[in-house]
Each structure stands twice: as C-alpha cells, then as structure tokens.
Homo-oligomer: A and B are copies of this chain.
Amino acid sequence: MSQLSPSTALPLDGQALLLQIRLLGEIGAEPEQDGRTRIALTDADKAGRDQLLRWMEALDLEIRIDRIGNIFGTLRADGDQQAPLMIGSHIDSVANAGALDGCYGVLAGLAVVRAFREAGVRPTRPITVAAFTNEEGVRYQPDMMGSLVHAGGLNVDAALETLGTDGTRLGDELVRIGYAGDLEPGALVPHEYLELHIEQGPVLEVEGVQIGVVENLQGISWQQVTVKGSANHAGTTPMHLRHDAGSVAAAAITHLREIAVDGTLATVGCLRLEPNLINVIPRKAVFTVDLRDPDEARLQAAEKRLADALAHLAETEGVEIHSERLVRFEPVIFDSDLASAIAASANRLGFSHRRMTSGAGHDAQMIARIAPAAMIFVPSQGGVSHNPREHTSDELLLTGAEVLLDVVCQRLARS
C-alpha cells in the first residue's frame, strides 16, 4: 500500500455510490407515496443502520458506536493515533422523505474511503465516516441531536432521557434497536470535518452553478406570536370598533416582507384563527415566525423590528400580543481555510461554484464547535427537499462526491 501524495487523483466509483443511495432509499420505502420514512430510532432506522454497518464492514472500517448511537467507521492510517479527517452527515429521515437528505453525505464518505481502498492507498491520517443520530428531530427534540451531543453541547444522559412525541424514552428506543454503544460521546475529535449535502434550496439550480462552497450557516430565530382581540359579528360591528386578531396577524405578516431584506429571510409557515367562522371577527390568531440571517447583528435587528411592529399594532389595534421564543441559534461561520480548499478543488476539477450560506441546519454546525468544518452543496431540483420529489441528477451527485474526494486528498497531502 502506498502513501498518498498531493498530486494523486484517486478514481471515484460513481456507480457504487449511486447504487448505495438507491438501496438505502428502499429501506422504509412507502411505494404508494413514492417516499420513505426512517424516523430516528424506529425499526426502519435500525434497518438503515444495519445496512450502513454491513457496507462499513465490507470496506473493513473500524466501527465504533457511541452512547447516543452515533456511528463512526474509520479507515486507519499507518499505525498512528492522529485525529481523523471526518466526513459525516445522517441517515435518519423525516416522514415521506426523499433519498438524498443526509444519506448522500454519509454514503459519499464511504465512496471516498472506497477510492482509497480500491487504489490500495493508505491515507496519511485516519478517515472517519460518521452517521449522527436523530438529525431531523421529528420524534425527539432537539434536531441535530447526535452531533450536538458529540460536540458537547448537550449532556448524553440528558439526551437519553428525552421523551418522544409518541411518549417513548430515547434511551430505551436506542437499546431496543441495538444501537446504544459504549463509546463516550466526543471521544473522537476530528482534525477537520467535511459534510457533503444537497442544497435543499433553489439557488444553485437557478444560477446554473454545480457546487456550493458553504462558508457559513444562518442563524435561526423561531417565535410563536399570539394575538388576542375580540370576537364579534362580522355584519354588525363597525370597522372602527373592531379588535380583529386575524387582521392584526395579516398586518404583521405583511410587515415582515419589509423586514426581510439584505439577506434576512422571514417566513410565516403556521397560522390559525379562532373561532375560524366565516361571519365572526377572529378573537385569536396564532402564527409562527421563522427569521434567518447569516449575520447575528442583522438577525437581532430583524427580531427587534418585528417586536416593535407588534408593539405598535397592539397599541393601535387594541389587542394583546404575546411572543414566545421557540428556537434560537446564532449563525455559524465555517472554517475559511477549508472553504477555500473546497473552492480550489472545484476549480481544479473544472466545476462551476459559488460561495454560499446554508439556510438549513446541519450536523456540520455542531461539529464546527470543536473542529474546523465546512460543507459542500450540490443543486436540489426545484429547491425541493423533505419530500419524495427531492431530486439531484446522478451527474451532479457524482460532481459533489468528486469534489469531496479531491478536498480529502488535498487535505491529507498537507497533513
């Protein structure tokens, strides 16, 4: 077995990668809906994990599972104890999901390792492929849980006590499916961390760009706003005597469009009225606000502008408005050196690329707390994700994997 030199370009077995994506996507499949469901720590998730382990074993990786169920498969370097270069993502899914979200990144990690194996090249530093537990957070909150525990942001014992939406205890389910490992979370601190993912948004496709060099990740602010007005008869209450909770909610949503400028995103995804009758002025409106910005100061400014607008509406409309914070993450800035390496690899391979911000949350943002991290995006057709229609062409999937492999080769050549 030879050592890897900077100029070495290892061949990628693209067909093996595409086959594994297809096969993993068949686990938990719902043929009538064209999607698959492998929610964390269900039987379907266990089946996906079992398949991943068989593929890791076939590559003769050293497999370790930690107490929160994170799976690590390591290709050892020459007899050293160096920190590994880690390639990670997740294989749990939302309900009725596509086949790519998360799985693509984990299986591309296996493709990188396979390239080394098949070329008979031993890396200068261990390469670890990681599949983190419960990234989606469908049954157990918070999402990105496995990577958060790994990075020390959540105590593993507390995480094991988490109760699910179905009343189950996470630790019990982990034992039940046989993935309560003994490795202490965080024992495996990577030297550097890379995550390849579909964009889950429309930017790359709209601009016709092949590769996204993800240099940061937006901060997220989720609030639930409750407006309390007065229910009254729609036909008998003059406009100036109304305290219409629905109308106030509409004014707030309209105002959010003015707040969402200069890179700030604002979305009202949920809204319900009470009593929700055609001829009754709404007594109550409850809506959610999702604000995102890669810049913390701008995110705070958007929150402030919303709060000011709500206070103004409460006063002028004679309603009570209450906001409850649901989720708040500060923006994450990825490692600029690693981002530059991704851009350099895309350049070298002749792929178009652009610097960009991740709008969604990813395991990489947690690992960025303990190691230099960055992400590679490939386009999502129509920007669709969390849906059976999630799609990226085989060609673009391989483009992303080739960039990942090249970045790994370049980084190992440096170490």
Contacts and interface: CB of A to CB of B under 8 A. Distances in A.
Contacts of A235: 200-201, 218, 220, 265, 290, 292, 358-361
A249 B250 contact: yes
A233 to B, nearest CB: 5
Place the interface of chain A in its size category: 35 or more
A273 B281 contact: no
Interface string A185-201: 00000000000000111
Contacts of A220: 235
B383 A237 contact: yes
Number of identical monomers bound together in the oligomeric complex:
2
Interface string A270-305: 111100111111100000101010000000000000
Nearest to A361: B235
Given A249-B250, A278-B222, A272 B269 contact: no
A384 B385 CA distance: 47
A199 B361 CA distance: 55
Interface in A248-277: 249-251, 253-254, 256-257, 260-261, 265-273, 276-277
A280 B254 CA distance: 17
A244 B272 CA distance: 16
A414 B385 CA distance: 78
Contacts of A234: 265, 267, 269, 290, 292, 359
B267 A383 contact: no
Contacts of A288: 278
A64 B361 CA distance: 73
B201 A237 contact: yes
A277 B222 CA distance: 12
Nearest to A252: B250
For A241, A251, A278, A292, the residue with the greatest tally of chain B CB atoms inside 10 Å of its CB is: A278
Contacts of A278: 222, 269-270, 288, 290, 326
A202 interface: yes
A144 to B, nearest CB: 13
Contact of A233 (B201, B233, B250, B272): B201
Contacts of A272: 271-272, 276
Given A235-B220, A235-B359, A237-B359, A247 B270 contact: no
Interface of A: 199-203, 206, 218, 220, 222, 232-239, 241, 244, 246-247, 249-251, 253-254, 256-257, 260-261, 265-273, 276-282, 288, 290, 292, 326, 358-361, 383-386
23 contacts: A200-B235, A201-B235, A201-B238, A202-B232, A202-B238, A218-B235, A233-B359, A234-B359, A235-B359, A236-B358, A239-B261, A239-B265, A239-B266, A247-B256, A247-B268, A250-B251, A269-B279, A270-B277, A270-B278, A272-B276, A278-B288, A279-B290, A280-B386
